[in-house]
Each structure stands twice: as structure tokens, then as C-alpha cells.
Copies of this chain bind each other. A is one copy, B any other.
């Protein structure tokens, strides 16, 4: 669940009065998301999402995130659009937290991933990558190689509490990633957290992307690797090559991939597996016993890492490895 901050009705009414949204009819905390507090606010104008940014979102990053959503919405990418108050300002404060109202996006995230979901995801991801081409703001990826090393340093001593040998596995893998990480691939703003709960569908059609609060500048193909890990493994740990093929093929119909990007994919997948393994490991070891968020299982990403480590080339994913974009 994600409601860390309680908002009184008086505070909310005063807050909403700064917008052209009519009166508040209802406000319910949403049991989704992990980092921030989210509310579904129904006003006389309809439903909106209110987000209160909690301490893990850095206040100085908010103009980047909000600017990105505005840029994407202008480019026709379906995503929540920050709503400005009558003074033209979207980023305000509520209950002592930075707070933003965004438009309500119809759709539900898929609980069971079908190949067709992955096909549409690939296309939407490529369109996102094209749309950010002329976005001017930048935000370095804090969860890139150096960030991983920091996280590992904080968790290494207790890593074997979660799985025997995990400390050695991670130390070796970080060294291998450092030696093999691609140096020069097409880069831009990536979503960096495009898990199924951040992608909405109406029926079988993708209706929008949400939660841009990890967006940052990095290799575009790294975003694909994150999606392969998040969408193309079954619950039993097996890799679904059909889903990955569809994701990649539909991506490439919109934005072709270079030979270098294709060749880098196995390492990008390993890096992405390490990134989520490390944040989950840290949260697993450090969540307070009374917290109401159930930490996610780090071992799910250890299994994904092991799969990618066993791959010797793109062919082992049963992916098409021609650089033409035909799949």
C-alpha cells in the first residue's frame, strides 16, 4: 500500500480550491505504488490523482519528472499530465510534502501478462524513446554502475542471510559488468521502471504509461532490458522467448536497433537484473519490522541474473539478431 501521509479534509479542500476543479467529492488513498502517497480525488470535474512525494523522491528532481510528463503529453504519449492551479503552478505543497495533481488515466495494469501485452509494450517504449529526443532537461541515473556499487557496499555483509553465496555472486557480477558494460550506445531519457503496474491497458489496448519517478538519462536499450526482465519471465522463473521476441520486434518497428545495441542486450539484461536485485536486497535487509509495505523478493532477480549469465549470445534468447529490425 502507499499512503504514508494523512491529509485532513480541511487541508485538501483548501488545496483543491487553488485549482479550477470544483469542490472535492471524495478522496481515497490508493493501495498501489511504493515510494509516494497516492490518492484518487473525485472533484466536481471528475477523477484526478493526487501524489504526495515522500522522502525517497528528491524534491530537486520533481521539475524534471513533471516537465517530462508535460513534454510526453504534448508529443501524444498517453501519460498523466500535471494539472496547474489557477496561478499556473503545478508543483505545490500539502501536509508538509511536495504535492501534485495529475490527470486520471483510464485503464488497468495487467495482472497476467500475455504476449500481446508485450507486443504493445515494445511499441509504446519505442515511441517514448522517440518522443524524448528533444526533451531538454537531464537527470543522471543514480542507479547505474556506481550506484550499484554503493548499494552493494551497504548490503554485502548481510547478503548471505538472503541466499548463501549471494555476496560472492554480486561481487563477481559487478566486476564483470564493469569490465563489459557498453561504453557508447544511443542514449536519452528512459522510464527506468516500466513494470506491468506502470502500464495501463483498456481491454487489449495499451492506454498509457505512469510513474515516471525513476526516469533518468541512460542508454535507451537499457530500458528494453528492464522491460525484458519485468515482463518476459514467468512466475516459475522461466524465460518466455515469445514475449521477448514480440517486445523487441514491435519496438524495432518504431525505433530500429543498431548492431551495437543488439549485441549489448545480454549485458544490459544482466545489469538490469543486478539493479533490481540490489535495491530489493537493500529493502529486504532494512525494512522496519512494523512497516506496512511487504518488501519484494530479491531472489526473483537473482534467478533472472543467473539466466542471463548462462546466455552466450542473443541467439540463446531465441531472439532475432539481425540488425534490420525485421522479426
Contact = CB atoms under 8 A, between A and B. Distances in A.
Given A292-B292, A294-B290, A26 B106 contact: yes
A31 B1 contact: yes
A42 interface: yes
Contacts of A293: 292
Copies of the polypeptide in the assembly: 2
A20 B299 CA distance: 44
B111 A8 contact: yes
A140 interface: no
Given A42-B47, A290-B294, A294-B290, A202 B25 contact: yes
Contacts of A115: none
Interface string A102-113: 001111111110
Interface stretch (A9-17, A219-227, A309-317): A9-17
A6 B8 CA distance: 29
Nearest to A25: B106
Nearest to A41: B108
Interface of A: 1-3, 6-10, 12-13, 23-32, 40, 42, 47, 104-112, 201-203, 289-290, 292-294
